[in-house]
Amino acid sequence: MKISLLKHLGNVLLGFSIAAFGIEQLLYGHLLLAFFPVKITPSKQLYVCITIGILYIFAALPVWFSSRNSILKLLPLTLFLAPLLFFHLPILLHNPSNGSKWTVCFELVSLAFGTAISVYLPDDFSGITKLTKVNLQKVCIIFFGLSLFVFSVLHFVYSAYISTLIPIWIPFHLFWAYFFGCAFLATSLSIISNKYSRISTFALSLMFLLWVFVLHLPRVIVNPIEAEITSLFVALGMSGVSMLFSFYSRRSAQFSVHAIL
């Protein structure tokens, strides 16, 4: 696959998932429970839902199309970091043994910093200073690599539960739970050390894309509830984010642990 095509496809998948989150909220008439675990009075719920839903749809635009509007570029990052900081992180700190909350928190982290490299780093890094480029890469490397490490740990700690999510027609469920845990760990180490990071993150993007069609889509077809649909688009967005990291890990020699130290 051509490298430029990899970036464009990553932007398409990530932007599509962001827009889908907004459309979901408009169709269901309430905020996505996976992102906004908060109660709103019935009189305000519809207005808040419509506003946030439209914001998510607009947030896909700077991911799909290059924009110089600083507010529009900040929108997708804000829409992932805000629910993380105001809702999920306090719950996690109060109950650190909550495995599902760890998952949601670092899914939001991955999507947030995936949008950051999509929106703030142009193809050839033109138009921004070297210092800004390196600093942004530092943040993205640390948080995306940390997210993958957390996903790896969760796959080992909750392997019994994760094995139940594997489609019944696939044998050796527990093996695949451990296998994907190892895949997350290997990619985390790869992206931080910049050793085979382009290949590992591209393979990760294919893994998430495979999950969309093999795992999430059949579950949505059988049980089209909000949680299943949201999970499908999270996996799609993670595939796009992984493609973007694959693209930018090649584009800069400083996209490595040496830029962090």
Q: What is the pLDDT of residues 44-56, one digit of tens each?
A: 888 999 999 999 9
Sign of dihedral through CA atoms 69, 75, 76, 78? Answer: positive
Which tokens in the block code for residue 83?
């629910």
Structural contact between residues 171 and 140, judged by C-beta atoms closer than 8 angstroms: no
Structural contact between residues 142 and 113, judged by C-beta atoms closer than 8 angstroms: no
Rounded to whole angstroms, how far apart are CA atoms 73 and 94? 32
Rounded to whole angstroms, how far apart are CA atoms 214 and 78? 31
Print burial letters for 240-252: b (CB count within 10 Å at least 16), e (below 16): bbbbbbbbbbbeb
Listed range (79-83, 166-170, 216-220) with the worst mean pLDDT: 166-170
Which tokens in the block code for residue 202?
């591209």
Which tokens in the block code for residue 149?
């490490």
Which residues, in sequence order, are CB contacts of 100 under 8 Å at separation 6+?
none
Provide φ and ψ at 128, rounded to 5°.
-130, 155
- pLDDT value at 19 more than 60: yes
Which tokens in the block code for residue 122?
């142009």
Residue type for 82, please? A
Structural contact between residues 80 and 52, judged by C-beta atoms closer than 8 angstroms: no
Structural contact between residues 220 and 232, judged by C-beta atoms closer than 8 angstroms: yes
Provide φ and ψ at 193, rounded to 5°.
-85, -10
Rounded to whole angstroms, how far apart are CA atoms 66 and 120? 9
- pLDDT value at 177 more than 50: yes
Which tokens in the block code for residue 10?
């990553």
Which tokens in the block code for residue 258?
């040496």
Higher-pLDDT residue of 5 and 145 is 145
- Give residue 192's pLDDT: 85
Higher-pLDDT residue of 214 and 256 is 214
The predicted model scores a pTM of 0.90
Average pLDDT over residues 225-253: 88
Nearest to 100 by CA among 162, 39, 143: 162
